[in-house]
Copies of this chain bind each other. A is one copy, B any other.
Amino acid sequence: MQLKPQGLSEESEVSPRDMAARAAWLSFVGGLTQDQIAQQLGISRQRAQRLVARASAEGLIRVRIEHPIAACLDLERALKARFGLEQARVSPALAAGSDPLLGLAPFVAPELERIFEAEGPKVFALGTGRTLKTVVEHLRTVEGAHHKLVSLIGNVAPDGSASFYEVIMRFAEKTRARHYPMSAPVSARDDVELALYRSLPHVKASRALAKSADLAIVGIGQLGDDAPLYVDGFLTAGELTDLRTAGGVGEICGHIFDRDGRYLDHPVNHRMVGVQVPEGRMPVYCVGAGASKVPALRAALQGRLLAGLFTDEETARELISK
C-alpha cells in the first residue's frame, strides 16, 4: 500500500500535464523518437505516445510557420489595395472541406498577441462569436495589465442566459488586462427598454469606453438560413426574412448591413444596446473566413466598415475575384 507523498520532496510532485509537456518538448524540439522519450522518462513507449498525443490534444503545442507564403502575401496586398485596408493577413489554405477556423485561429492568434504586446496602454473593443472565441482560445498568456478590454455588445441572450460567447473574459484571463463587459441584454424589446438599458451607469460607461477604443476586433455574421443571430435566438424567423427582404446580407456585433455595407434603417438595428462600429475614429479589424461569409465580408469591405481583415486564402481569393 502506497500513500501519495504530500509535498515531501518538490521532486516528486509531477502533474500529468508536466509529463505531457515534457514528452512533447522532447518530441518536437528535441526530435527524439517515442522510444527514446520513453527511455528518457522511464516509461513505456505507449505511454510516451499517449503523452505526446495528449499534449497536442490539450493545445500545449503551438506551431508557427516562419515563412510567409508568397501567394498569401499577394492576396494581402490585393486586399489592401482593393478595399483601402491598413492591415490584411491571409492564412494558407488547409483541406478544402475543413472548418476554416482550423487554420485561421492559430494564424490570427499570434497576430493579436503582436498587436497586444505593442506599445503603451490601449483600449481594445471586442465583438463576440464563435470565430473570435476560437481565436482567443489560441492566444498564449501574455502580459497586458496596462491595457483595457471592453465589449462592443451586450452579454445577455434573449432567454436571459448570460455570456453566449464570452470572448472578453477569456481574453482578459490570458492577459490580466482590465476588462469591461457590457452587462446588459444584446438587444432591447422596445425603445423604452433601450433607453433604460442605455441609461444604466455601467452600460453607459462601457459604451463610452468602447467608442473611445483604439482598436475594435470583431467577427462577422451572415444572414443565411443558418445565420448565427437566428440560430442563437436573437432573431425570429420572421425578423430574419424581413431583414433579408430589406437587403440585409451581413452583420457585425448584431448590426445588420446591406450589400453596400450600409447599416439598415430597421427596428432590429435600432434596438441593439451595443455599439455600431466603426464609431468615431476607431479602426475595425475583422476576423472571418468561409464561403458563407463572403457576401457579408464583401459588403463590409465595400462600405469601408473595416480597416483590417484576417481571413484565409480561399476567402481572400473569393473577395478579390469579383
- Interface members, chain A 85-109 (any B CB < 8 Å): 92, 94-96, 98, 102-103, 106-107
Interface window among A58-66, A180-188, A194-202, A246-254: A58-66
Q: Given A70-B14, A71-B18, A95-B36, A65–B30 Cβ distance below 8 Å?
A: no
In the bound complex, how far is the Cα of B61 from the Cα of A26, in angstroms?
16
Greatest chain B CB density within 10 A among A15, A29, A117 is at A29
Contact A25 B71 (CB under 8 A): no
Is A24's beta carbon under 8 Å from chain B? yes
1/0 contact string of A147-179 vs chain B (CB within 8 Å): 000000000000000000000000000000000
| Size range of the chain A interface in the assembly | 35 or more
- Interface members, chain A 27-68 (any B CB < 8 Å): 28-30, 32, 36, 40, 55, 59-68
Contact A63 B28 (CB under 8 A): yes
Minimum distance in angstroms from A69 CB to a CB of chain B: 5
A30 CB contacts on chain B under 8 angstroms: 94-95, 98, 102-103
Is A272's beta carbon under 8 Å from chain B? no
Contact B28 A70 (CB under 8 A): no
Is A265's beta carbon under 8 Å from chain B? no
Is A293's beta carbon under 8 Å from chain B? no
- Interface members, chain A 177-227 (any B CB < 8 Å): none
Which of B25, B32, B94 sits near A65, CB closer than 8 Å? B25
In the bound complex, how far is the Cα of B32 from the Cα of A95, in angstroms?
8
Is A281's beta carbon under 8 Å from chain B? no
Is A1's beta carbon under 8 Å from chain B? no
* Closest chain B residue to A64, Cβ basis: B62
Contact B94 A18 (CB under 8 A): no
Contact B63 A10 (CB under 8 A): no
1/0 contact string of A116-136 vs chain B (CB within 8 Å): 011110000000000000000
* Closest chain B residue to A138, Cβ basis: B66
A22 CB contacts on chain B under 8 angstroms: 69, 92
Contact B140 A66 (CB under 8 A): yes
Q: Given A14-B70, A60-B67, A94–B20 Cβ distance below 8 Å?
A: no
Is A82's beta carbon under 8 Å from chain B? no
Contact A103 B29 (CB under 8 A): yes
Which of B15, B32, B65, B120 sits near A55, CB closer than 8 Å? B65
Q: Would you mind naming 30 contact pairs between A and B with Cβ atoms under 8 Å apart?
A: A10-B74, A11-B71, A15-B70, A21-B66, A21-B68, A22-B69, A24-B65, A25-B69, A25-B103, A28-B63, A29-B63, A29-B94, A29-B102, A29-B106, A30-B94, A30-B102, A36-B95, A40-B96, A55-B67, A60-B65, A60-B66, A62-B63, A62-B66, A63-B63, A63-B64, A66-B140, A114-B117, A117-B117, A117-B118, A120-B120
- Chain A interface (Cβ within 8 Å of chain B)? 10-11, 13-15, 17-18, 20-22, 24-26, 28-30, 32, 36, 40, 55, 59-71, 74, 92, 94-96, 98, 102-103, 106-107, 114, 117-120, 140
Task: Give 7 nearest A-B pairs by CB, closest first.
Answer: A21-B67, A30-B94, A28-B63, A62-B64, A60-B67, A25-B92, A18-B69
